[in-house]
């Protein structure tokens, strides 16, 4: 214990993780013109029409007048006579997302994953496979990449309940026992979700709790905390508020009206002594200025009072060769155990 007491605050802070929480807006910003084949990532409003399964509602009298998938799905799922329609909607959603392919050129998801390290974490509410697809190509640049959590599951994940093990669904068979992988059921938008529906989702939430408690910076990107996620938001707030953390930082990356964003995230900011910054794009956030060194950069500037700027900032790259070259000085330093801001 004595040894710990000798560490200065900055040293302890530098060892803490950076947590990113992603919502639908992050995928939208990552593929503004659609995926590799121009397939759009649907938004909750008008979701069924956008993915071409609104025909399933033909002849069904819904109480809700909303076109929002949350309202429609919740209502149908509460009525046993519609179990068949509900299953068809779920199949339609999975089929749509399974087809999605990340564009060939580097995307914001590639920049994001590559700008964090093993001690950091990306937790996503999105079902789409794009984040995993990005991970599978940036891991050719470095293996020191963040942990990923799929809070509502993902169509790109396969699980083996026997081995309590999960891996990419495209592997088809469990790499431990050889049995065919199951596709974990997605967590659909109903008010009372079952967060222990399967081991995959359960593990994701308990790991998220650890990162919420320990992260020095939490960045929330494109996640609007919709009504059907009220329980999720409360769970996150409880974990984040387990301590008063006046030196920590919350960043929100979103294009919504600022007042709305402040109102949504103010309860979280309270515990950081209102250290809440709002940015309009990923590139403006701390990883834009300090890729792979976000915590180090933050501590250097705000705790140690450094006035200069980083010389290696995130830039749009047209190819992966360009991106590899951009990150090279940082990754080379890391091989010498040097994590300084440059
Ligand atoms: Zn297995």
Q: pLDDT tens, 97-126?
A: 999 999 999 999 999 999 999 999 999 999
Cα–Cα distance for residue pair 75/65, rounded to 1 Å: 11
Q: Ligand 1: distance of its center to the CA of 182 in Å?
A: 10
Percentage of residues in the chain having pLDDT higher than 90: 77
Q: Any bridge partners for residue 18, and if so which? A: 217
Q: What is the pLDDT of residue 260?
A: 94
DSSP string covering 203-255: HHHHHHHHHHHH-SEEEEES----GGGHHHHHHHHHHHTTS--TT-EEEEE--
Q: With cut-offs at 50, 70 and 90, classify the pLDDT of residue 3.
A: very low
Q: With cut-offs at 50, 70 and 90, classify the pLDDT of residue 40.
A: confident
Q: What is the pLDDT of residue 183?
A: 86
Cα–Cα distance for residue pair 276/240, rounded to 1 Å: 14
Q: Ligand 1: distance of its center to the CA of 181 in Å?
A: 8
Q: What is the pLDDT of residue 101?
A: 96
Q: Ligand 1: distance of its center to the CA of 207 in Å?
A: 21
Cβ-based burial of 190 (10 A; exposed 0-12, middle 13-18, buried ≥19): middle
Q: Is pLDDT of 6 > 90? A: no
Residue pLDDT, tens place only, 297-311:
999 999 889 999 999
Q: With cut-offs at 50, 70 and 90, classify the pLDDT of residue 7.
A: low
Q: With cut-offs at 50, 70 and 90, classify the pLDDT of residue 226.
A: confident
Top-confidence residue, 2 or 117 = 117
| Stretch 13-28: mean pLDDT | 96
Residue pLDDT, tens place only, 240-269:
998 899 999 999 999 999 999 999 999 999
Q: Is pLDDT of 186 > 70? A: yes
Q: Is pLDDT of 208 > 90? A: yes
pTM listed for this prediction: 0.94
Top-confidence residue, 197 or 287 = 287
Q: Ligand 1: distance of its center to the CA of 187 in Å?
A: 22
Contact 134, 106 (CB under 8 A): no
Other Cβ atoms within 10 Å of 305 Cβ, number: 7
Identify the three-state secondary structure at position 166.
strand
| Stretch 216-223: mean pLDDT | 97
Residue pLDDT, tens place only, 236-248:
999 999 889 999 9
Q: What is the pLDDT of residue 1?
A: 41
Contact 249, 285 (CB under 8 A): no
Q: Ligand 1: distance of its center to the CA of 169 in Å?
A: 13
Q: Ligand 1: distance of its center to the CA of 176 in Å?
A: 5
Q: Ligand 1: distance of its center to the CA of 97 in Å?
A: 25
Q: Ligand 1: distance of its center to the CA of 196 in Å?
A: 20
Q: Is pLDDT of 50 > 90? A: no
Cα–Cα distance for residue pair 7/10, rounded to 1 Å: 8
Q: Ligand 1: distance of its center to the CA of 133 in Å?
A: 23
């Amino acid at each position: 214990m004595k040894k710990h007491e000798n560490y200065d605050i900055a040293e302890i802070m530098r060892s803490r993780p950076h947590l990113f929480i992603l919502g639908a807006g992050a995928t939208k910003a990552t593929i503004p013109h659609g995926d590799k084949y121009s397939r759009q990532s649907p938004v909750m409003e008008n979701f069924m029409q956008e993915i071409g399964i609104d025909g399933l509602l033909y002849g069904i009298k819904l109480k809700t007048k909303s076109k929002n998938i949350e309202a429609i799905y919740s209502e149908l799922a509460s009525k046993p006579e519609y179990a068949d329609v509900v299953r068809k909607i779920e199949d339609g959603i999975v089929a749509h997302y399974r087809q999605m392919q990340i564009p060939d050129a580097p995307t914001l998801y590639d920049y994001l994953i590559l700008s964090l390290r093993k001690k950091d974490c990306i937790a996503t509410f999105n079902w789409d496979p794009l984040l995993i697809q990005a991970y599978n190509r940036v891991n050719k640049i470095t293996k020191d990449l963040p942990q990923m959590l799929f809070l509502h599951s993902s169509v790109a994940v396969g699980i083996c309940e026997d081995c309590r093990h999960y891996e990419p669904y495209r592997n088809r068979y469990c790499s431990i026992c050889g049995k065919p992988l199951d596709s974990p059921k997605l967590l659909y938008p109903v008010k009372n979700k079952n967060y222990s529906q399967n081991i995959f989702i359960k593990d994701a939430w308990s790991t998220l709790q650890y990162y919420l408690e320990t992260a020095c910076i939490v960045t929330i990107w494109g996640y609007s905390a919709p009504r059907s996620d009220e329980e999720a938001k409360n769970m996150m707030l409880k974990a984040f508020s387990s301590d008063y953390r006046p030196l920590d930082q919350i960043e929100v990356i979103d294009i919504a009206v600022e007042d709305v964003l402040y109102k949504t995230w103010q309860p979280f900011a309270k515990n950081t002594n209102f250290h809440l910054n709002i940015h309009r794009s990923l590139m403006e956030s701390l990883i834009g200025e300090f890729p792979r060194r976000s915590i180090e950069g933050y501590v250097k500037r705000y705790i140690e009072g450094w006035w200069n700027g980083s010389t290696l900032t995130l830039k749009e790259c047209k190819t992966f060769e360009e991106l590899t070259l951009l990150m090279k000085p940082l990754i080379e330093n890391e091989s010498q155990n040097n994590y300084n801001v440059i």
